[in-house]
Chain A
Amino acid sequence: MTSSTYRSPVNDDPTLDISLVVNGRPVEASVSPRLLLSDFLRHHLGLTGTHVGCEHGVCGACTVHIDGRAARSCLTLAVQLDGATVRTVEDLEGPDGSLSPVQEAFRDCHGLQCGFCTPGFLMSVTALLDEDPDVADASDTEIRERIAGNLCRCTGYQGIVAATRQAAETIRDAKEQADVPTRG
């Protein structure tokens, strides 16, 4: 895997060198300390799938995974990520380009309209289901509580709730299928 080198191309702020792994690829960069992770991903790495809706932590559009956990990229400085692993929406699809179960479920259930909140939701829901596949059995109210923390202005959340459940079921079914042969 090749490592890419980026330099903060922009202003004449003093910069610091960081190295991290983004979507499985090592990245070396030289960035201003005040650069937000959201801007680093979007404008330095060109990963514009991560969106910015508020820059104060409320909307969740900028949600990515840092070291395996969902986090707000707008509330994280790029320099904090030296040595970290970051995953963004661009990494969700399968190696063959197929949509992930969560992506597929959002499509099936009309969990997106304008698509602006969508990457953040996908990252939050993906992290949620990684942690807790039992969401498939949760009540509607519980699912709503689990996905509160991301704002959507378009869908009224109905499709997103349904998508979360569908994805949980798909993931659980796949796990069960995978378990069958080993059991016997």
Chain B
Amino acid sequence: MKPSRFEYVLPRSIEEAVAARVEYADTVVLSGGQSLVPTLNFRLSNPEAVIDLRLVPGLADVRVDGDWIHVGGRTRQRDLELDDAVHAANPLIRETLHHVAHPVIRNRGTVGGSIAHADPSAELPCLLLCLDGEVVAHGPGGARTIDAQDLFEFILSTTLEPDEILTEVRFPVLPERTGWCFTEFARRHGDFALAGVAATLTLAEDGTIAWGQLAACGVTTTPVRLVAVEDALLDGAADPSRIREIAQLAADVVTVPDDESCSSAYRRDLLVGLVERALRTSLQRATERATARTSREVTS
């Protein structure tokens, strides 16, 4: 389990990095290495060149700016997790990161690396999709923004071009009167999830559910928005007594076939259970936030 030979490219700017992407026929990007290096060690990937982003400036910057949280592609997952400003702006991020592998892996693994890797069971792509986030990619023609909705194509595959590099990930700030939840089930602590759900739920001024955003991982070839559930939440009539019923609507997104240790019937029921849990937690938190806000407004 040793990598085969490759050229090691250490660009000092994003332009140099993109140039290397173009120059070599078959390149991979080394961001945190926590998914890439195992595939090199197994010789599942034998690239001509490895482009290490570590000296490209600005790629690990994180800033909260108005409605958006800007996260440099090479930001370590652990740094984002520990960032209090980010947490204040959108607490779903930290909650999600706690489910990504173990702290030791998050110490090296990066946000952009996880999203570019696009493992269908991974939490961060699911988070991005749930929040309607976006990414910035640099290619030979310059930078472009890709909506999360348009990013994930298939297992380990995105709409990033082979000569592009993901440079930034943008998560929206959590709106007011909004609750959140990330929940998942993995066989062992820290493993990729058999199924996971990211959710936000926003209340109207009158305390009824205005809308919800939900995405799931581990259930199909990409992270997936739970559109049927979201539609049901839009009705306005989504009172808490109907949450269980609404959660059932998630079941149909599951396409992972039966395998020896996980039947698809199980995965469907698991997803439904997780959606229910995510909705209940989000609703409770939304209510808490709405009341906390109201009481703050009253006192001030």
Contacts and interface: CB of A to CB of B under 8 A. Distances in A.
Q: Do chains A and B touch in the complex (CB under 8 A)?
A: yes
Interface of A: 13, 16, 32-34, 36, 39, 55-57, 60, 63, 66, 69-72, 74-77, 79-80, 124, 127-128, 144-146, 148-149
Contacts of A57: 34, 37-38, 105
A55 B38 CA distance: 7
Sorted from nearest, which 5 A-B pairs have the closest CB atoms? A149-B102, A33-B8, A56-B38, A55-B1, A148-B189
Contact of A63 (B8, B37, B104): B104
B87 interface: no
B3 interface: yes
A77 B4 contact: no
B33 A75 contact: yes
B2 A75 contact: no
Contacts of A148: 102, 188-190
Given A75-B33, A80-B54, A34 B108 contact: no
A149 to B, nearest CB: 3
B266 interface: no
B6 interface: yes
A145 B41 contact: no
Given A148-B188, A149-B102, A75 B5 contact: no
Contact of A149 (B6, B10, B30, B105): B105
Contacts of B7: 33
Interface string B80-110: 0000000000000000000001111101100
A148 B99 CA distance: 12
20 contacts: A13-B5, A32-B5, A34-B2, A34-B6, A36-B41, A55-B41, A57-B38, A71-B104, A74-B37, A75-B108, A77-B37, A80-B52, A80-B54, A127-B104, A145-B189, A146-B103, A148-B188, A148-B190, A149-B102, A149-B105
B24 interface: no
B105 A76 contact: no
A145 B189 CA distance: 7
Nearest to B10: A79
Given A80-B30, A148-B189, A75 B37 contact: yes
B270 to A, nearest CB: 21
A16 B108 contact: no
Given A55-B41, A57-B34, 18 more contacts: A13-B5, A33-B8, A34-B4, A34-B6, A36-B3, A69-B78, A69-B107, A70-B103, A71-B104, A72-B108, A74-B41, A76-B37, A77-B8, A77-B30, A79-B8, A80-B30, A124-B104, A145-B189
A118 B54 CA distance: 31
A76 B104 contact: no
A34 B135 CA distance: 30
A34 B49 CA distance: 11
B5 A80 contact: no
